[in-house]
Homo-oligomer: A and B are copies of this chain.
Amino acid sequence: MITELNETENINLPLFPISSAAKILDISVHTLRMYEKEGLIIPFKKESSHRLYSKADIDRLICIRKAINESKISIAGIKSIYSLIPCWEITKCTKNDREICEAFNSHTKPCWTFEHSNNPCGEKDCRLCDVYSLYSECGKIKELITNCVK
């Protein structure tokens, strides 16, 4: 049975301005901007410079907060873990694609933090890319590696 989602039920709609997101997460606005600068999160931006966060973004941030506060993984550690997501498999990069890709060769920060207009990803919006969006939830990354490795 297929039911239609109403506006608030769609987890990918950019609904929350930064102050609301900060309030929901009980952190400061600046911390949110810092996570973004570090490449942990990519908020939605319309034509303006103002950020908007979706329910999915909030969930991702809850996961990041848990990693930092409960699991005691540093921001640099989270970046490093994100860099291990086999993006080349998800985006079906060729062997040749990989060779020219900075992200493929990095183990310090996630692929979506690299300039990519000159590589296979081209002008794609990383926010909408599976590599970024599917593996926010804690534990998902190992699951992914498991599935890739078979």
On A, residues with C-beta under 8 Å from B are: 71-78, 80-81, 83-84, 86, 88-89, 104, 107-108, 138-139, 141-142, 145-146, 148-150
The minimal Cβ–Cβ distance linking A143 to chain B, given in whole angstroms, is: 8
Contact B83 A80 (CB under 8 A): no
Complex copy number for this chain = 2
A88 to B80, CA, bound (A): 22
Q: How far is the CA of A74 from the CA of B76 in the complex (A)?
A: 8
Distance from A139 Cβ to chain B, minimum over Cβ atoms (Å): 5
Q: How far is the CA of A80 from the CA of B80 in the complex (A)?
A: 10
A145 and B142 within 8 A (CB): no
Q: List 20 A-B contacts (CB under 8 A).
A: A71-B76, A72-B74, A73-B76, A73-B77, A73-B80, A74-B76, A74-B77, A76-B77, A77-B80, A81-B81, A84-B145, A88-B146, A88-B149, A104-B146, A107-B138, A107-B139, A107-B141, A145-B145, A145-B149, A149-B149
